[in-house]
Amino acid sequence: MMVIIIATVPFMPAPLHSNDALLNAQARHGHWLLRTPLAAVMLYHGVEKWLVIGVETFAQTMGLPIALAVLVAVIEVLAGIALLAGAFAGGWITRSGAALTCPVLLGAVFYVHWGQWHFLPSASHPMGGLEFQITLLGIAIYLLIRGNEV
């Protein structure tokens, strides 16, 4: 029965519109609700690696080669900038920023947070679980697919 119900639900058309003129007028700004937190997290972590903890310390803590740690820090900063700039410069820049975040987030999920869902630190996962990173990855994939389209 459930399969029949799922199979009969129509796919949502793109772009999304409602029958409410006010909601449709505001919808063009809705991308900021996804773009801003993802860009802020990426920028924060990238800048933190350069200015606060240091890339060398990050590499040692994670057991990464220094070149990979530098690459991660650079990608985080570039992704954050591209996600913000893409709102003004074009959908391909948004998509590029979102694409840059995906390998970083997948690395965080599988290398650091795998094995615990909840985001709070525990004895087995001192840096917390993967709940937050999976949420950010979902946002990144949405922006990768949709770009600047509402």
Nearest-angstrom CA–CA distance, 105 and 111: 10
What local confidence, expressed as pLDDT, does residue 125 receive? Answer: 61
Average pLDDT over every residue of 4-20? 53
Whole-number pLDDT of residue 49: 92
Per-residue model confidence as pLDDT tens digits over 62-72? 899 999 999 99
Confidence of residue 3 (pLDDT cuts 50, 70, 90): very low
What pLDDT digit, counting tens, does each position of 94-128 carry?
999 999 999 999 998 888 767 765 666 666 666 66
24-33 per-residue burial string, b: 16 or more CB within 10 A, e: under 16: eeeeeeebee
State percent of the chain over pLDDT 70: 78
pLDDT tens digits along 41-59:
999 999 999 999 999 999 9
Q: In the chain, where are the structural domains located? A: 31-146
Q: Say if residue 83's pLDDT is above 90.
A: yes
- How far is the C-alpha of 115 from the C-alpha of 108, rounded, in Å? 12
> What pTM was computed for the model?
0.79
